[in-house]
Homo-oligomer: A and B are copies of this chain.
Amino acid sequence: MVIIMKPEASAQNIKGIVEVIHNAGLTAKVTEGVQQQIVAVIGDKSRVATVAFDAMPGVDHTVAISKSYKLASRESHPRDSVINVDGIEIGGGTFTVMAGPCAVESREQLLTAAEIAKKGGAQFLRGGAYKPRTSPYSFQGLEEEGLKYLAEAKEKTGLRIVTEVTEVEAVETVAHYADLLQIGARNMQNFRLLKEVGRTNKPVMLKRGLAATIDEWLNAAEYILSEGNENVILCERGIRSYETYTRNTLDLSAVAAVKHLSHLPIIVDPSHGTGKWRLVKPMALAAVAAGADGLIMEMHPNPAKALSDGAQSLTPEHYYDLMTDVLKLKDFMRDEHMESIDLED
């Protein structure tokens, strides 16, 4: 941490700062500038975290130097993590597609969707049984009944199951049926829930919060990792910006940034990321090119009858077409050793 003093800070002010640092068992180094002085704090960051230098007399502001997440950082784990989800490896060069309806609506809808997902080449079936909805009057999901349909679909197709868990009490139940637990954007900083899934040994897919910085997202991953669960996959699903044409602004630069800052795999959700089915294919291809480890997409046997998010769901035809090109593109990039990000510089 570096403490920037005001131009008018007194020697007394500096002395006070240095004393506090020493009392915390840390080292202070003062550098005199032309306009103002700066004090560098050397030592274990966690001790410094409990001192509010910003509130001390003579201080203009402070600047954090080192990152607060450790286990999620590339420094702590230089090679890509590969997460094994019931036999399917995610990360380290593989490419995984998860497809299915936004919500599990009925046994028939789900089994049909599963057949289509499978036929198109996905390895995972997605589908929400617990639905976080803006309004309490919107469809809230089939809950355990929905999970059972998902399990049945797995049995029929062999597809792995990814589904959202929205509350601590449901973690055990969802973990019983699902292969991959999804933490949704609205729960990215539901720290209690993060800790709970961190205590299971189930792989977790952590979606980025609507207004979360990359730093906050990796800190949220740290909550899961620090509980002992190393099987964390990130998912970029668009962030909230001022643009209203798209539902969210898909931040594909986060894919490359995460690859640089962290060893965790990262999946892209172009359905929520755009909110418009017409933009899903170009963004899916772009995600492949940006180096994503996979995709999660909404596909519905009949989008116009979907109970939620129909506007962003692909029809089966659009899904097949997209998959053909996505897989071709991924093969091409692999064959050409077209690593989009160079970790050695």
Contact = CB atoms under 8 A, between A and B. Distances in A.
B166 A169 contact: no
Given A51-B304, A52-B303, A192-B166, A338 B328 contact: yes
Contact of A260 (B52, B136, B278, B333): B278
Given A38-B2, A289-B329, A313-B52, A253 B274 contact: yes
Contacts of A273: 253
Contacts of A20: 304
A53 B303 CA distance: 9
A155 interface: no
Interface string A301-344: 00111111111010000000100010011001100101011100
A291 interface: yes
A286 interface: yes
A285 B211 contact: no
Size range of the chain A interface in the assembly: 35 or more
A133 interface: yes
A54 B310 CA distance: 7
B256 A283 contact: yes
A65 B289 contact: no
A252 B186 CA distance: 24
- State the 6 A-B residue pairs at the shortest beta-carbon distance, nearest first: A52-B310, A54-B311, A211-B211, A282-B340, A289-B289, A55-B303
Given A213-B243, A243-B214, A51 B189 contact: no
A65 to B, nearest CB: 5
A144 interface: no
A239 interface: yes
A230 interface: no
A4 B64 CA distance: 10
A182 interface: no
Interface in A103-145: 132-139
A31 B34 contact: no
Given A213-B242, A274-B253, A305-B51, A168 B166 contact: no
A269 interface: no
Interface string A214-258: 111001001100100000000000011111111001111111110
B311 A278 contact: no
A278 B136 contact: no
A125 to B, nearest CB: 20
Contacts of A214: 243, 245
Contacts of A287: 286
A43 interface: yes
A28 to B, nearest CB: 10
Nearest to A313: B55
